[in-house]
Every structure is written in structure tokens, then in C-alpha cells.
């Protein structure tokens, strides 16, 4: 395993978590919570999902950090972090096409491609 690559994956994952929390919070979560033109169940469920993503992004960064530090089961931790990044990337790259928009509106999937690369490098 390559700890430097895993530290880089942890750092980049932390950056994406911070972007999600501190940019996505005011731009997405705040307006979503205040939206009164949505059915309550849709609004509240989407708001809950935003928080689930927050937890998952922080968890992904923690998995990479724990793996980089050589925690017992480091390979499995790095694999889990890489799998999360791959899932986010796959969904993020496919979704714009599936819902009829473009990457200018939903670029987030691309953010996880370098995390995948760093995770895979770290696993070597």
C-alpha cells in the first residue's frame, strides 16, 4: 500500500466534505429547507438525504485517513473509501444525462474521479 496516496485521498475527500458542508449548505440545504412549494415529505426527505451525504463524505475521508495511518484492516478501509468514491462518481457522471441536464449544473461526479485514482494508487 502507498500511504502518501491514501493521505492525499483523505485530504481531497476532506476538501469535498468541506465544500459540501460550507458551500452546499447555503446553496442547497438552506434553500431546500425553506422551500414551501415542495410537498413536506419530499422537502424533508431531500434535506435528510443531504445530511446523509454529509456523514458519508466525512466517513470516506476518515476511511482513507485510517488506512493511511496503517490502522488494522487498512486495505479494507482503503477499498471501502475507494468504493464510496466510485459510487459517487458513477452516479454523478450518469445522473445529468438521465435527468436531461449537463455537467455545468451538476459537476459533482467529476470531483470523485481523482479520489478514485488516489485510492487505487494507495492500494498498490
Give the pLDDT band (50/70/90) at residue 31: very high
Tens of pLDDT, residue by residue over 57-95, are 999 999 999 999 999 999 999 999 999 999 999 999 999
Query: Under a CB-based contact definition with an 8 Å cutoff, are residues 91 and 99 in contact?
Result: no
| Torsion from C-alpha of 18, 12, 47, 22, nearest 10 degrees | 20
Query: Per-domain residue ranges for the chain?
Result: 3-122
Contacts with 93 (C-beta within 8 Å, 6 or more apart), sequence order: 109, 110
Mean pLDDT, the chain, rounded, equals: 97
Predicted TM-score (pTM) above 0.85: yes
Q: What is the CA radius of gyration of the chain?
A: 16
Amino acid at each position: 500500500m502507498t500511504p502518501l496516496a491514501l493521505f492525499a485521498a483523505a485530504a481531497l475527500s476532506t476538501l469535498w466534505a468541506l465544500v459540501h458542508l460550507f458551500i452546499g449548505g447555503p446553496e442547497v440545504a438552506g434553500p431546500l429547507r425553506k422551500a414551501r412549494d415542495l410537498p413536506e415529505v419530499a422537502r424533508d426527505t431531500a434535506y435528510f438525504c443531504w445530511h446523509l451525504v454529509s456523514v458519508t463524505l466525512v466517513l470516506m475521508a476518515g476511511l482513507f485517513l485510517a488506512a493511511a495511518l496503517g490502522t488494522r484492516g487498512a486495505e479494507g478501509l482503503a477499498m471501502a473509501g475507494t468504493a464510496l468514491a466510485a459510487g459517487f462518481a458513477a452516479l454523478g457522471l450518469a445522473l445529468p444525462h438521465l435527468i436531461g441536464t449537463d455537467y455545468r449544473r451538476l459537476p459533482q461526479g467529476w470531483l470523485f474521479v481523482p479520489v478514485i485514482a488516489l485510492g487505487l494508487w494507495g492500494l498498490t
